[in-house]
A and B are shown apart, each in its own frame.
Chain A
Amino acid sequence: MLRCTLLVCGRGVVRLLASSFCSESSALPPNLLLPTNLVDPSRSKRPPPPADCPLPLLRSCDAVVPAHLSAVQTWVETLEARGSEPLGWAQLHPDVFAVAPRLDILHEVETWQKNFKRISHANTKIRSEVRGGGRKPWNQKGSGRARHGSIRSPIWKGGGVSNGPRGPTSYFYMLPMKLRVQGLKVALSSKLAQDDLHIVDSVNISSPDPQDLLHLIREKLWGESVLIVDVGEEFPENILQATASLKTVNIIPAIGLNVHSMLKHEAVVLTLESVRFLEEKLLWHDQRYTPLYPYKLPYSDLP
C-alpha cells in the first residue's frame, strides 16, 4: 500500500494531477516540494533494446561472457544533441552489471568509506593531566570532611575525566579487496536495474554553459543529480566548465568511481571507454591469484 501511494505521489505526477484538474484551479500548491527518490511514473521507462533493433551495436563485451549468462543490453545516448533519441545500443558484461543486488555489501562498503578516513581528535584530561592536584587537600582525620587525596580526582568539580575519549583515535580499517570490488559491481548493477545508469558515447558537449547541461539532463529525465564518469587524465574544457559551478552534476575519472558517490547521485552516466575500463578492472579480480607480495610489485605471470 505504501508502494502504491509512493507510485502515485511523484514529481511528475504533479503534472498528471494538475492536468486532471485542468478545468478547475489546481488544488496542489505551485511550490510543492516532494522527496526526489519517489518513483516517477511519467518518467519514460524506455524498454531495453529489442533483438531486431535497427540502431547499430556500438560496443560488445571484450571479456568472454559465461555460457549460462547473457550480456545485458542498454541504449547508448549522446550529450551533444538536445533530442532524447539514442545513438545505438551496447552490450554490458553480466558479471559486472547484472550481479545479485547485495544491499548488505553496499551498506558495508558505504560505512567503510565513511569511517576509515575518520580520526577523532576528541581528548580529555585525566586526573594526572589536570593542572594541580598533587597535594592532599586536608588531613585524613580530624577535619570532619570526607577524605580526599587530590583536588583533581574525577569526583571533584574541575577534576579529570576517568573514562573519556583519549587523544586522536583512528577508525581506520580495510575491507578485503574482493569485497570492495563486489560493492562496485553491486552498485553498478542496482543503478542499471533501476534505470539510473546511462551510457553515453563521449563526454563532449556543445557549450560550456551549466544551464544548457541542466536543460539537457531535465529533458532526458535523468534525475536531480548526475555523476558523469569518463576515463583519462584530461577532460574536454566544455564539460569541466559546465560542471565546475554546478553542485548536483559532477564529473570524475573512472578510477575515482566509488559506492558513496554512486548512491549520492541519482543518475550515473558512463562513457563507452569508462565501461571498457571498469569491466576490465572489475572482472580481473574474479580470476586472479592471491597476492604473494603487493600487486604493485612486478609479476611475471599475472597480466
Chain B
Amino acid sequence: MSFPKKPASKALGILQNLPRISLANLRPEPGAKKAETRRGRGQHGGNRSGRGHKGERQRGTRPRLGFVGGQTPFYLAIPKYGYNEGHSRRPQYQPLSLRRLQYLIDLGRVDPTHPVDLTQLVNARGVTVQPLKRDYGVQLVDEGADIFSAKINIEVQRASEGAVAAIERNGGVITTSYYDPISLGILIKPVPFFLRGQPIPKRMLPGEDMVRYYTDAESRGYLADPEKIQQARLALALKYGYTLPDISKDELYHMLSMRKDVRQIFFGLAPGWVVSMPEKKILKPTDEKLLKYYRS
C-alpha cells in the first residue's frame, strides 16, 4: 500500500525556487485562449470573407429556411396530426428514483424521522423542480427498489406501482397529492415566499383530468377513501409477494400517519396565515369572512 502524498507539495516546492509571482508573471494556460476569427482581414480571412463565390450565398439574398425553390416544401406537404399538440401545457413530473432516495437518506440529507415532503427533498438538493417549466412535482420511479430499505412517510405527486410496493414493504407510508403551480412554487422555495409578506394561499384541488388519479386508492391519492387505501395496500402486498407490516404497532406511528389537510401547503401552517421572518412572528386572520374563506 502506498502512502498518500500531500497533493500540491511538489508544485509548492518548485514554487519556492522560482521568482515571485507578480502581476507581470501571470499568463493564461497555453491553449486556453483561442484567437477569434476575424472575417475580412488578412490572407485567409480576407478576399471573399468566407462567403463563397457570387450568387445568393455571397450576396446574402438566400430565401427563407425551408424554401425548396417553389415546390411545396416538406414542412407543408406533410399533413398535420396532433402528436405534439399542447405539448408545452402537459404536466411534467421530475423523476426521483428509490436509489437516489436511499442515497440521500444514507448520507443524512433527508431525515426519515420526519415526514418527507417536496420541501425536504429540495432542501436536501435531491431533486430540482421548476414550476415555471410546467413541472407539477416529483414522481417516484422504482429503479433501486431492490436496495431500498428505509421506513419513511413520503408525499410525492406521482408514484409507480413498484415504488409504492417498495415503500410499503419496508413499513413506510406513501401518499400522492396535488399541488397547483402557485402552491408548488411556494412549497419548493418557502423562504422567498415568506419574505413577500403575503398570506399562505389555500392549495387548489386538482382539475378534472387529475381528480380521477388522486381519488384512486391504487395510486394512494390524498382524496381517496382511507379504507379503500388499506384494501389496496393488502392487494399490492399479495400481488408483489411480501407481508404487509402493521404500522399501527410501530413506535413512529404518529409520524407515519401525519398527513396534510387537503388545502394545506405546509405542515403546521394553515392557509391564511402570514409568516413574518424579520420579526419571527406568525399572524393569523381574525375576520369571520376570511376565516370562512380559508376554511372552505
Q: Do A and B come from one complex?
A: yes
Provide the bound-state CA to CA distance between A53 and B226, in Å. Answer: 73
User: Chain A interface: which size bin?
Assistant: 35 or more
Contact call B16/A195, Cβ cutoff below 8 A: yes
Q: Chain A residues near B11 (CB, 8 Å)? A: 100-101
Provide the bound-state CA to CA distance between A300 and B9, in Å. Answer: 38
Contact call A263/B26, Cβ cutoff below 8 A: yes
Q: Is residue A39 within 8 Å, beta carbon to beta carbon, of the partner chain?
A: yes
Contact call B26/A293, Cβ cutoff below 8 A: no
| Interface residue from B8, B32, B123, B192 paired with A101 (Cβ < 8 Å) | B8
Q: Interface on chain B toward A: helix, strand, loop, or mixed SS?
A: loop
Contact call B23/A190, Cβ cutoff below 8 A: no
Q: Who on chain B is nearest to A69 by CB?
A: B6
- B16-47 interface code vs A (CB 8 A; 1 in, 0 out): 11111111111111001000000000000000
Provide the bound-state CA to CA distance between A220 and B122, in Å. Answer: 54
Q: Chain A residues near B27 (CB, 8 Å)? A: 103, 107
Q: Is residue B195 within 8 Å, beta carbon to beta carbon, of the partner chain?
A: yes
| Interface residue from A99, A106, A297 paired with B8 (Cβ < 8 Å) | A99
Contact call A193/B7, Cβ cutoff below 8 A: no
Q: Is residue A31 within 8 Å, beta carbon to beta carbon, of the partner chain?
A: no
Contact call A37/B6, Cβ cutoff below 8 A: no
- In the complex, chain A residues 20-74 whose Cβ is within 8 Å of any chain B Cβ: 37-39, 68-70
Given A293-B192, A297-B192, A37:B123 Cβ within 8 A? no
Q: Interface on chain A toward B: helix, strand, loop, or mixed SS?
A: loop
Q: Who on chain B is nearest to A223 by CB?
A: B20
Contact call A98/B15, Cβ cutoff below 8 A: no
Q: Chain A residues near B189 (CB, 8 Å)? A: 292-293
Q: Who on chain A is nearest to B29 by CB?
A: A104
Q: How far is the CB of B174 from chain A (nearest CB, A)?
A: 24
Q: How far is the CB of B197 from chain A (nearest CB, A)?
A: 14
Contact call A290/B8, Cβ cutoff below 8 A: no
The 25 listed contacts between A and B (C-beta, < 8 Å) are: A39-B19, A68-B4, A69-B6, A70-B6, A101-B12, A101-B15, A101-B21, A103-B27, A104-B29, A104-B32, A107-B28, A108-B28, A110-B26, A189-B12, A190-B21, A193-B12, A193-B16, A194-B15, A260-B23, A263-B21, A263-B23, A293-B192, A297-B192, A300-B191, A301-B123
- Which residues of B line the A interface, CB within 8 A? 4, 6-9, 11-13, 15-29, 32, 122-123, 125, 188-189, 191-192, 195, 277
- Which residues of A line the B interface, CB within 8 A? 3, 6, 37-39, 68-70, 94, 98-101, 103-104, 106-108, 110, 189-190, 193-196, 260, 263-264, 266, 289-290, 292-293, 297-301
